[in-house]
Amino acid sequence: MLDPVWLKTFLVVTETRSFTRAAERLGLRQSTVSQHIRKLEQAATQQLLLRDTHSVELTSDGEAMIGFASSVVETMDRAMSYFTGTELRGRVRFGASEDFVAGPLPEILREFRRSHPRVDLELTVALSGVLHEKLRAGELDLVLAKRRPEQDATGLLWTDKLVWVGREGIDLDPEQLVPLIAYPPPSITRARALEALQRNGNQWRVTCTSGSLNGLRAAALADLGVAVFARSLVPTGLAELPAKHGLPDPGEVEFILNARRQAMRGPTAALSDVIRAEASRLHGTP
């Protein structure tokens, strides 16, 4: 049997290239370090280190042992962390708006899961208005969503310009109703688009309603009309419409990260910290 204690000592010796420094790091006597290495070599039936009074070098078998030793020590450390309760674990009920499903959010969540394998994620993708309602009702722990700028200032990540988008080269007839593609209520971008059109005196008709980002994108690519998106999150294949179309300014929108106060600890706090740190990735700024 290869004792994990011997393996850990071996790894420290290979890192420091010194029995003396390894003993200092491990808090052991140098004779104990030598004993661990000797017992490991006896168990492996191979010489792992070449040493003299000045240097320590690895043999080819020693090079091979590094991989095995690292794997065993890492597994033992993870097991001890799990059973002593030091590894983060629990559940996060996380809600994200449709705007992020096609961006880097899945990769960020994958990286979080890799760092915290004992944390379970319950992901809800919905309209921002729905997510806010679920957060207030205690059905979600953490929400990444849009918000009107005039609402409360808590949880702000960034502010973005809303723009009109459509298929590249779309030609709108100024004599016709503005063909609007939108999320269903309580969509924030839908409300801002309708408010802007009404304020500007434009006539419109909703030509397509879809609860999914891919649905809106498909409708726009099919030339069914135009939609409002945050400038940094315009879907692939669509383009911001130039001013010549005469569409009114839909204003700005805020992106926020809010949590239930009672849940802002442990796994929820850890995921919140990661998303805040990666905010620039989410809205495409360097």
pLDDT in tens, 146-179: 988 766 667 899 999 999 999 988 888 888 899 9
Res. 29: pLDDT tops 50: yes
Segment 208-216 long-range contacts (CB within 8 Å, at least 24 positions apart): 208/181, 208/182, 209/181, 209/182, 209/183, 209/184, 210/181, 210/183, 210/184, 211/98, 211/127, 211/183, 211/184, 212/98, 213/98, 213/99, 213/101, 213/102, 214/102, 216/181, 216/182, 216/183
Domains and their CATH numbers in the chain: 4-84 (1.10.10.10), 89-157+254-282 (3.40.190.10), 159-252 (3.40.190.10)
Distance CA(155)–CA(254), nearest Å, equals 10
Nearest to 263 by CA among 126, 156, 141, 89: 141
pTM higher than 0.85, yes or no? no
Q: How many CA atoms lie within 13 A of 184 on its CB side?
A: 7
Distance CA(201)–CA(266), nearest Å, equals 51
Residue 217: the pLDDT is 94
Task: Pull the structure tokens for residue 232.
Answer: 């940094």
State mean pLDDT over 205-224: 94
State mean pLDDT over 192-217: 94
Res. 137: pLDDT tops 80: yes
Q: What per-residue string of b and e applies to 142-165 under the rule 16 or more CB within 10 Å gives b?
A: bbbbbbeeeeeeebebeebebbbb
State mean pLDDT over 268-279: 90
Helix H or strand E encompassing 209: strand 204-209
Contacts of 276 (CB under 8 A, 6+ apart): 157, 257
Residue 84: the pLDDT is 65
Nearest to 240 by CA among 255, 227, 253: 227
In DSSP notation, 81-118 reads HHHHT-S-EEEEEEEEEGGGTTTTHHHHHHHHHHH-TE
Residue 158: the pLDDT is 92
Residue 103: the pLDDT is 83
